[in-house]
Structure 1
Amino acid sequence: MLFKDREDAAKQIAACLEDYKNSDDAVIVAIAKGGLPLATVITKELQISPSVTFVHKIISESHPQVALGAISDTGVVMLNDHLIELLGISPRYIDAQIEAAKVSLESSKEEIAKILPPVDLQNKSVIIVDDGIATGITMKVVIASLVGQGCKKIIVATPVGSLETIRFLEKHVDEVICLHKTQYFHSLDHFYKSFPSIDPEEMIQIVLGFSALTSA
């Protein structure tokens, strides 16, 4: 256990991001759902604008713990072709999962946009926040979705991450802030004393808090 909870981890990350405090050119992009509680703390500490992004993992019915790929709420798809072939997953199954994910993501995106309008990320320093990075498929698809949006800088901020994945990300973004890099990545809750799941209602309450912050 490294962190008391997500709030504890977020305060430590915020301390590493002091250069962006009160910056009009910086935006926090929280990956729902795990990145939301961290973003709440970080946006308050740094007084910078928040935004929310959604990612849907594509999984196998026979191996639900394994991500075959991921899709962002902007429609960017990344697939682990080697794993898909290894598990004998049919293209029809993958296509069906992608289409279902698009519908779900669009619904989530529209719901959140009613509370927190999308932020223009052009010429912004974008700080992507999540509560942990294992394989990195979620973070990679978010980064890919940001590349075409004209961001000035892309920064990844997370409390804990797989050493291999963090090294990969360091080559593909401007900066990576990872408080703890581990060669042997256990389940994410291994690194937190308290690691509750985030239900849809709590997610909405967090985003309402973002909205209040931006209108203050």
Structure 2
Amino acid sequence: MEFFADRAEAGALLAERLQDAHDPVILALPRGGVAVAAPIARALGAPLDVLVTRKIGYPPTPELGVGAIAEGGEPVFDLTLLSRLGLTPESVAHVVEDERRELARRIRAYRGDRPLPALEGREVIVVDDGLATGSTARAALRAVAGARPAKVTLAVPVGATETVESLRAEADEVVVLLTPIDFRAVGQWYEHFEQLTDADVLRLLDRA
């Protein structure tokens, strides 16, 4: 069974698989994706920024994600799960508005008044620390696609096989190092998987 020591090691290994990228922009999904993306940006000599996303939770159990939203994009829902729960996108509109406010807060915290880098015509690499349901990555990829980049690559160290396959339709390329059969959670594939804070994200961005 393979493990990554931490997110930095995972990022360094991913960077080896991304050497053919041409003048890319690296967009990390905070918080965990930033720690993976930082060594990629260093290795490729590429600019690093964040693409802020938020999970849209099932109201009685917010940990259960029924969708996600990314800055610059519209909400993306798991319509099958919504239907199974007896919900519609309209019935969780209040949750979406709450998450839009938190999205705006985090954008201000991470980027201040600085806008996202210009993505039109650029090669963009979207990075996260792993894929479970893939809802936030899907929302991020659709938001990036709306900016008309030349190419979009999703790069993650580990992911559930079905999720990885489902996201191939959302990106020009998906680079993933591990797709374990017994995948249960992203953190199980790291020896050290500490929760990052906003201060950690800012420190990594400052170094980049």
How high is the TM-score relative to the length of structure 1?
A: 0.88
Please tell me the residue identity of whatever aligns with 2:19.
Answer: E
Whether 1:187 and 2:188 are equivalent positions in the alignment is no
Q: What corresponds to 1:214 in structure 2?
A: none
Task: Give the counterpart of 1:85 among 69, 83, 86.
Answer: 83
| Matched residue, 1:19 | 20
- Measured after TM superposition, the shift of residue 129 of structure 1 is 0.4
Let me know the Cα RMSD of the aligned residues.
1.8
CA deviations on 1:135-156 (whole Å, 9 max, x unpaired) are 1111111111111211000001
Following superposition, the deviation at residue 14 of structure 1 comes to 0.4
What CA deviation, in whole Å up to 9, does each residue of 1:176-195 have, x standing for no partner?
11001123321111100000
Secondary structure, aligned partner of 1:142: helix
Deviations 1:31-76 (A, max 9, x none): 1111100111111111111121111101124334321111111141
150, 153, 158: which is aligned to 2:151?
A: 153
| Residues 149-158 or 93-102, more deviating | 93-102
1:3 match = 4
CA distance, structure 1, for counterparts of residue 79 and residue 165 of structure 2 = 22
Q: Name the structure 1 match of 2:199.
A: 201
- Equivalent position SS for 1:178: strand
Moved more, 57-66 or 72-81: 57-66
The verdict on how the C-alpha distance between 1:50 and 1:34 changes in structure 2, with shifts beyond 3 A counting, is same
Q: Please tell me whether the aligned partners of residues 27 and 49 of structure 1 are also in contact (alpha carbons under 8 angstroms).
A: yes
Structure 1 distance, partners of 2:53, 2:190, is 22
2:61 corresponds in structure 1 to: 63
Q: Give TM-score, length-normalised by structure 2.
A: 0.92
Partner of 1:69, secondary structure, is strand
Deviates more, 1:75-84 or 1:90-99: 90-99
Separation in 2, partners of 1:49, 1:91: 36
**2:73–2:146: 8 Å Cα contact kept in structure 1?**
no
- 2 CA distance for matches of 1:142 and 1:88? 26
User: Shift of residue 120 of structure 1?
Assistant: 0.3
SS in 2 for 1:177: strand
User: Structure 1: how far apart are the matches of 2:170 and 2:76?
Assistant: 15
1:133 Cα offset (Å): 0.6
Corresponding residue for 1:142? 140
SS at match of 2:29: strand
Asked if the contact 2:77/2:89 (under 8 Å) is kept, the reply is no
Do the aligned residues in 2 keep the contact of 1:126 with 1:151 (CA within 8 Å)? yes
**CA-to-aligned-CA distance 1:110-145 (integer Å, 9 cap, x gap):** 332238652101111100100001111111111111
Gaps of 5+ in 1: 211-216
Instruction: Quickly say closer, same or farther: Cα 1:65–1:18, change in 2 above 3 A.
Output: same
What letter is aligned with 1:110?
Answer: R
Counterpart AA for 1:176: V
